[in-house]
Amino acid sequence: MRDLLRANPREAFAILVLAVLVTIYLATHPAGPTTYVTTIWANQSLILALAAIAQFFAVIVRGIDLSVGAVMALTNCVASYVVVGSSLDMAFGIIAVLFVGAGCGLLNGLLVVYGRIQPIVVTLATASLFVGVALLLRPTPGGQIDYDLADAMTLDLFGIPTAMIITAAIIALIWVPLRRTGLGLGLYAVGSSEQAAFQSGMPVTKIRLASFTLGGLFAGLAGLYFSFVTTTGDAGIGPNFTLNSIAAVVLGGVALRGGVGTLTGAIAGAFILKTIGALMFFSGLPPLAQPFVEGLILATAIAIGSADVLRVKNRLEVFGR
């Protein structure tokens, strides 16, 4: 445990902050720490956590994805059409939604890698494209998700919120094995130094394509889970999730300069943001002041991440002289 904390101090600190905030939230909630309270909190947190994971895969290779919210909106709208009907229909519908998400991420990756355009520029452009398609599908909120499936994914199992089970499954079944593979190691290598990774014989192009594709896949999962929570489609959900996903990865200890941080930390950052929002709701803070405080927290988190990037850049410039 000591070695784990020493190897991942940023992640450990984020988890500690989250534990404190959750304890305060459950202790001060008017209804107390009931299954209903924890389930609502977990559902909202998981949506942002999935968006933060999508952002993580872009940031870890020294990029940034401004299309995360747009992909969520598109996949949410697609889900409102296809995740209905028989069990087989819904299974194919879910696969289609995830395929759309991964396809959006792959498009971003192709433009970044082969177009040699900065990720922030590419994803800003594709975000408009994805939102445009989402608006064509759902000019106004509507559609329907199978209610039984939505309940199964958003309620609880033996008193444990399903969202928490899904979060644990993502860490145990996806992140833990991935970070021990060549791809997982390659993500950190490319983020730390793309040139050094290339000279070491790593397939940098494939790694960057895989990172953006995984980002699109998890943005699609975020849009799908948003569909389970709301049981409808809405093309206007994107902007807040894009900004929050960036703040979440920074709060979780993921460095915007790339190569530093973990997926677990990104998840913890997302849960921290949602817990802070929930605490403000029950704190008696005037409703009109809450957006200002949330914006201040987001701006501070992103400023911290940007300062880290500038500090490293300036240090490299000094060494270069």
How far apart are the C-alpha atoms of 38 and 160, rounded to whole Å? 8
Window from 20-29, 91-100, 132-141 with minimum mean pLDDT? 20-29
Which tokens go with 202?
A: 């790593």
- In this model, does residue 319 exceed pLDDT 70? no
In this prediction, what percent of the chain has a pLDDT beyond 70? 88
- In this model, does residue 318 exceed pLDDT 60? no
- In this model, does residue 302 exceed pLDDT 70? no
> Rg of the chain's alpha carbons, rounded to an integer?
19
Burial of 155 (0-12, 13-18, 19+ CB in 10 A): middle
Mark 57-67 as b/e (b = at least 16 C-beta within 10 Å): bbbbbbbbbbb
Residue 77: per-residue pLDDT: 96
- In this model, does residue 316 exceed pLDDT 50? no
Compute CA 148 distance to the chain's CA centroid, rounded to the nearest angstrom: 26
The per-residue pLDDT of the chain, averaged, comes to: 87
Domain boundaries, the chain: 2-320
- In this model, does residue 312 exceed pLDDT 70? no
- In this model, does residue 308 exceed pLDDT 60? no
Residue 6: per-residue pLDDT: 63
Higher pLDDT, 281 or 251: 251
Residue 191: per-residue pLDDT: 87
Which of 12-21, 120-129, 278-287 is the most confident on average? Answer: 120-129
**CATH class assigned to 2-320:** mainly alpha
What residues are paired with 60 via a beta bridge? Answer: none
Going by pLDDT thresholds of 50, 70 and 90, the confidence category of residue 180 is: confident
**Phi, psi (degrees; rounded to nearest 5) at 201:** 90, 10
How far apart are the C-alpha atoms of 261 and 240, rounded to whole Å? 23
Which tokens go with 133?
A: 């398609």
Contact (Cβ atoms closer than 8 angstroms) between residue 131 and residue 149: no
| pLDDT tens by residue, 104-121 | 999 999 999 999 999 999
| pLDDT tens by residue, 21-40 | 899 888 888 887 889 989 99
| pLDDT tens by residue, 237-275 | 988 899 899 989 988 888 888 888 889 999 999 999 899
DSSP state of 173: I
Helix (H, G, I), strand (E, B) or coil at 160: strand
Which H/E stretch holds residue 156?
Answer: strand 156-157
How far apart are the C-alpha atoms of 61 and 46, rounded to whole Å? 23
Residue 42: per-residue pLDDT: 94
Q: Which residue shows structure tokens 């790593």?
A: 202
Contact (Cβ atoms closer than 8 angstroms) between residue 76 and residue 100: no
Mean pLDDT of the 287-296 span: 69
How far apart are the C-alpha atoms of 148 and 157, rounded to whole Å? 14
How far apart are the C-alpha atoms of 183 and 252, rounded to whole Å? 22
Residue 66: per-residue pLDDT: 94
| pLDDT tens by residue, 182-241 | 898 999 999 888 888 888 888 999 999 999 999 999 999 999 999 999 999 999 998 889
How far apart are the C-alpha atoms of 304 and 14, rounded to whole Å? 14
Q: Which residue shows structure tokens 């994971």?
A: 53
Which H/E stretch holds residue 157?
Answer: strand 156-157
